[in-house]
Structure 1
């Protein structure tokens, strides 16, 4: 049991670093642009999202929406100059 707990303390930071290296850091949705056939004031109209802006530790990233939808968060890596 003690060995399993020791392994968790070693494996979790390695897994977190590997995730960071592969995917980057998470950024939350900040804003979006959409197209609505029912008008912009109808809250029940189906919205087709065009692009999504995510904000996080590396700044803001605007990406095209996937299949007309925006997720709550997305992973980004820093932009190298």
Structure 2
């Protein structure tokens, strides 16, 4: 089925705001929409359908010289991603 797109957003926040204001139907990652879903501002449709998986990479020039604060951020992301993936 071809769908004519009438709205595009380059940030998840802009898309979420548009969806919450009633612009129409949109695809959104469940973790980003979880609060609006719990509050009833959004309702899930096609709940069994999924967008293709996306991957997140941390790219840096040489692993030997990563500052401790960068290592901390990477560790935090690695620790939080599994719980975000299930929409908690």
Classify the TM-score, shorter chain. Answer: under 0.3
TM, length-normalised to structure 2: 0.19
TM-score scaled to structure 1, two decimals? 0.20
Decide which structure has greater strand share. Answer: 1
Q: Which structure has the highest helix share of the two? A: 2
Q: Which has the larger radius of gyration?
A: 1
